Amino acid sequence: MHTVIKGTGTGNIIYLGLTVFVVGAVLLGNVNACGSIEFCKVTVFAILFGMSAIILLAFAVFTRGGYNSVGGAGPIGRFMFQPVTTGKMLWVPIGVIAVVATSYAVTFWDYSYASFVGIFFSGIIMFIAFLQTNSIIVPIVIHGLYNSIVTVLREGIGNLFDGFTPNVGLGGISLTESTKFWFEIALQNTLVAPSEELFKLFGVAVFVAILKGSYSNPGLRVWTAGVIAVLIWTVLHLIQSG
């Protein structure tokens, strides 16, 4: 006789979650082969956003019961989607300054892996800001503002930072007209930054489940999950920037 087990198996959602990493790598690795690179990059970011959101929603639904649900992590909503307050938003300027300083510093490194180091530590900075606020909006705003700054610098504004053009997840829109320039800024803040930050936190959720960590008491396992998620994001970031 078939026995129905109450609760949800961690492996089911973990498997579905890991497919997002593979799909993301394949899509980003072949985006330059697309007839319209601009359209394809925007589409890829939209796909990553949608897939990450769906898996995170699945985690949120199946962790409502607490520790005995998926991954034993506890409610994911309280970990990632707490209300934004004035105090939490103070982490935005701190994060932007830290990310800009990190990205600028690595431009002086004459090493092939300098871009990798800059992107990775920028991701860690945004993850720290997230852990201090438990609100996904904070790293999204930091990420969007940073990408906007880089977009402006790439247009030749800010000679003080001449040569400072680190990789960002640009949608690939040609910035030859004022309208396209502002569209690119909007794209960075409404699609690129949200999709990348949601993707990273989706990765955190997957690896917290694998490591059987707890959102209620973030410790080494949550930190480990965060580092792994940022590392994967860094690799995919370099793929799509290549």
Average pLDDT of the residues in 167-194: 69
CB contact at 8 A, 154 and 222: no
**From CA 180, how far away is CA 101, in angstroms rounded?**
27
Q: What is residue 62's predicted lDDT score, i.e. its pLDDT?
A: 65
What DSSP element (H or E) covers 225?
helix 220-241
Each domain of the chain, given as residue ranges in start order, spans: 10-241
Query: 143 in the Ramachandran plot: left (φ > 0), alpha (ψ -120 to 50) or beta?
Result: alpha
Least confident segment among 61-65, 118-122, 199-203: 61-65
pTM score: 0.79
193/170 Cα distance (integer angstroms) = 10
Find out whether 98 and 125 touch, Cβ atoms under 8 Å.
yes
Q: What is the pLDDT of residue 63?
A: 55
